Amino acid sequence: MSDMRRRDFITLLGGAAAWPLAARAQQPTRTLKVGTVAGTPKSSPQWVAFERRMVELGYQEGRNFSFDFLQAASADEYEALYRKLAAREPDVILAIGPEIGLKSALAVTRTVPIVMIAIDYDPLARGYITSLARPSGNITGVVFQQIELAAKRIQLIKDGFPDRLAATMFWDKFSADQWEAARSTAAKLGLQLSGIELREPPYDYEAALDQAPLDHRGMLIVPTSPSFFRDRARLADFALRHRILSMFVFREWVDAGGLLCYGPSITALFGRVAEFVDRMARGAKPADLPVEQPTRFEMVVNLKTAKAIGIELPTAILLRADEVIE
């Protein structure tokens, strides 16, 4: 197992938390061909973590491992790029992020093992797998539980900032389920939530904020999607310039200057995906590998940003935080 922080540990549903070390004792001698289509660049932190873990497991590009990485500029490109990928006959396919990734991968193969990284949807609810313990077919992987976490972030905001009565949430077609979960929870908790849909990339965040009611512009909630993650530095800077209290999904937003985040470690989970790939390289069938979910979540707070936008973070937030960036 990689040297993960305690909060990055993931429980394996239906089995032991770690696969036997003996299963990784010898590396395959042939070249393992892995391919993916992604909406974020290969230089993004999660892909760096995936490749780093592959190296730790004994795979080196150019020697016994090849990684065919195709980047999609929009959702419309996924299907064509997965067809292109399938023609190159990978041993394992990674289906990343939004539902269109898994849907497009399944459209080109029902036999090649697929490791899904379901960030923006629930594959069980959508019928892609029969259960978490025994997913069936040629799919297994990691589910990020973002639908449930979208509701949890609303709860954290309401508990931590009870005097804030209204907020704005940006969303796009990839994060529509997160928006619905957040809106439903906000209504129950008495938080007025104005949802602004972003449609055409590159997203115009200034125009989006202008669409929100004036009294909703002091707090911004951003779900996860390929575009929002790619724009994390832009969004953090945007919130800082407008002196907006901001809640994001992953710590990478807070590292870029966002105020708060709550969610699992995306880099730890992508490292875990490398271990799925390793297992399949040794002959394991996807249907026999339980789908995993994160069981550890972290709240990261950027105190420097809080000072810059002129707010004093409530004690409840600081006590709840797993890490405070000074």
pLDDT for the residue numbered 221: 98
Alpha-carbon 266 to chain mean position = 6
Contacts within 8 Å (CB) and 24+ apart, 59-68: 59/27, 59/32, 59/278, 63/31, 64/27, 64/28, 64/29, 64/30, 64/31, 64/32, 65/31, 65/32, 65/34, 66/31, 66/32, 66/33, 66/34, 67/34, 67/35, 67/36, 68/33, 68/34, 68/35, 68/36
pLDDT for the residue numbered 2: 37
pLDDT for the residue numbered 29: 66
What is the mean pLDDT, run by run of 10 residues, along the chain of 326 residues?
38 40 51 96 96 98 97 93 98 95 97 94 93 95 94 96 96 95 97 97 96 98 95 97 97 97 96 97 96 95 97 93 94
pLDDT for the residue numbered 23: 42
pLDDT for the residue numbered 30: 87
pLDDT by residue (tens digit) across 224-274? 999 999 999 999 999 999 999 999 999 999 999 999 999 999 999 999 999
Residues 116, 143: Cα–Cα separation, whole Å: 8
